[in-house]
A = this chain, B = another copy of it.
C-alpha cells in the first residue's frame, strides 16, 4: 500500500473545524452598491419599473440568498441563522456624471461557532443582482460597483468596523 502521497497537498481546500469553538452571538453587516442611470433609480423608487416592485423582490431574494450561502460558497459552514434583514437607500448623485447609486445593506445574525460575514455578503450581492435583472432591459450600463463588509461583531477576533470614518455607515 502506497504512502499517503498528499496528491492534493497544494490544493487542500477544506471546511475548517469549528467543533471546539463555543457558539456565541455574531452579526455581520455588508453592503452592495449598484450604479445606474439616474432615470432608472427614479423609476425604481417610484415603482415604475415594468417588471414589478424591484426593491420588494430584491429584498426577498437577498433574504433567501443568505440562507443558500453554504450551497454557494464551498468552504462555508452550514449554520442556523437567527435574523436576516436588508434595506435600501439612494446614495447622493455624484454631480456631473449622470449616474445614480442604489445601496443595498444586509444584516445577518446567528448564535453559532462561526460568523455570518459570507451570508451578509451573499445577501447583498444577490439583492444587487436582482435589481440589475429587473432593470437591465431599460439600462444596459448598470454595474455593481462595490460589495464589501461594513462591520461584524462576535467571535474571537473581536468586533470589526470598516470605514469608521464614513459617517453614513450605519
Q: Which residues of A contact B (CB under 8 A)?
A: 1-8, 10-19, 25, 45, 47, 51-53, 55-57, 59-61, 63-68, 70-92, 109-113, 117-118, 121-122, 125-126, 128-130, 132-134, 136, 140-149, 160, 162, 166-168, 170
Copies in the complex: 6
- In the assembled complex, the Cα of A47 lies from the Cα of B53 at a distance in Å of 14
**A63 touching B5, Cβ below 8 Å:** no
Cβ-defined partner of A83 (8 Å) among B10, B14, B140? B14
**B13 touching A60, Cβ below 8 Å:** yes
12 A-B residue pairings within 8 Å (CB atoms): A1-B168, A6-B89, A7-B45, A8-B55, A14-B84, A17-B83, A63-B75, A68-B68, A68-B72, A122-B129, A140-B162, A141-B162
Closest chain B CB from A142 CB (angstroms) = 7
Provided the pairs A51-B14, A64-B71 are in contact, do residues A121 and B112 lie with their beta carbons within 8 angstroms?
Answer: no
Chain B residues whose CB sits within 8 angstroms of the CB of A52 once the complex forms: 11-14, 59, 75
Closest chain B CB from A46 CB (angstroms) = 10
**A57 touching B60, Cβ below 8 Å:** yes
Closest chain B CB from A49 CB (angstroms) = 9
**A143 touching B133, Cβ below 8 Å:** no
Closest chain B CB from A3 CB (angstroms) = 8
**B57 touching A61, Cβ below 8 Å:** no
**A53 touching B1, Cβ below 8 Å:** no
